[in-house]
Amino acid sequence: MADVSVRPAAPDDAPEIGRIQVETWRVAYRELVPAPVLEGLSAEGAAAAWTQAITSAPSPRHRVLVALEQQWLVGFVALGPADDLEADDPDPATTLALAPILVEPRWGRRGHGSRLLAAAVDHARGDGMTRAIAWIPDGDAPTREFLLAAGWAPDGLARALDTGAGELREIRMHTSLADSPA
């Protein structure tokens, strides 16, 4: 059995988180995100943003968690209170936003995503969160299927993001944390 775990991210994890984000997006989103956007990503720039997220989180309910297999950091998830809700969204004060949840493709299909999702839900429930949302690229079938299998569902909302090099359409998934087995 592999030695696997999930733990809170530390500042010195930021370079590896940045590398995983950039490399994973370049592989998984090459058909979804305009090429100039993917080409413009840098692991160093992403690492700087992740260092900020880890060391200066906006609230105690904002977290970055990392998945490990033995000594290797293989994936991560960021979570915190949702700040982009619709006027008629239920439970605005106790809605969690999950974004992103990524596992480096070469470490996929080993349960790391499920462990990250379960840990995020555990932290959210501990913080009194009752609902979770996640915006995902409309064509991101693997993430959509992963969340569906975990009890999430599309809630009918979609948005178009201007990437500066084209539009990226996203859909919103949601789940109740009271009912979710994740």
**What's the pLDDT tens digit per position in 20-68?**
999 999 999 999 998 999 999 999 999 999 999 999 999 999 999 999 9
CB-based contacts of 105, cutoff 8 Å, min separation 6: 24, 27, 28
**% residues pLDDT > 70 (the chain):** 97
Average pLDDT, the chain: 94
- pLDDT of 2 reads 66
pLDDT-derived band at 12 (thresholds 50, 70, 90) equals: very high
For residues 118 and 182, is the Cβ–Cβ distance under 8 A?
Answer: yes
Considering the domain delimited by 4-176, tell me its CATH architecture. Answer: 3-Layer(aba) Sandwich (3.40)
pLDDT-derived band at 148 (thresholds 50, 70, 90) equals: very high
For residues 59 and 78, is the Cβ–Cβ distance under 8 A?
Answer: no
Has this prediction a pTM greater than 0.85? Answer: yes
Q: What is the maximum alpha-carbon separation in the chain?
A: 47
Mean pLDDT (whole number) for 109-113: 89
What DSSP string describes 12-81? Answer: GGHHHHHHHHHHHHHHHTTTTS-HHHHHH--HHHHHHHHHHHHHS-SSTT-EEEEEEETTEEEEEEEEEE
Report which secondary-structure segment, H or E, holds 82.
none
- pLDDT of 13 reads 98
In whole angstroms, what is the distance from residue 94 CA to residue 90 CA?
9
Is residue 182 over pLDDT 70?
no
**% residues pLDDT > 90 (the chain):** 87
How far lies 77's CA from each of 71, 91, 94, in Å? 18, 22, 19
Q: Which residue would you say has higher pLDDT here, 116 or 105?
A: 116
- Taken as a whole, the chain contains a residue count of 182
- pLDDT of 108 reads 78
In whole angstroms, what is the distance from residue 34 CA to residue 119 CA?
32
Mean pLDDT (whole number) for 130-142: 96
3-state DSSP helix/strand/coil % of the chain, to nearest 5: 35, 30, 30
